[in-house]
Amino acid sequence: MLKLMVPATLLLVCSTSFAQTPPPAQQQSAVQPKAKQRVICHDEGEIGSRLASRRVCLTEDQWRQREQDDKDNLAERQRRSPR
| pLDDT given for residue 72 in this prediction | 97
What's the pLDDT tens digit per position in 31-79? Answer: 556 678 899 999 999 999 989 999 999 999 999 999 999 999 999 999 9
The more confidently predicted of residues 74 and 81 is 74
DSSP 16-38: HHHTSPPPHHHHTTTSPPPPPPP
Among 80, 34, 79, which Cα is nearest to 60's? 34
| pLDDT given for residue 28 in this prediction | 52
Residue 81 clears pLDDT 50, i.e. is over it: yes
Cα distances (Å, whole numbers) of residue 83 to 52, 54, 75, 77, 80: 35, 35, 14, 12, 9
Residue 20 clears pLDDT 90, i.e. is over it: no
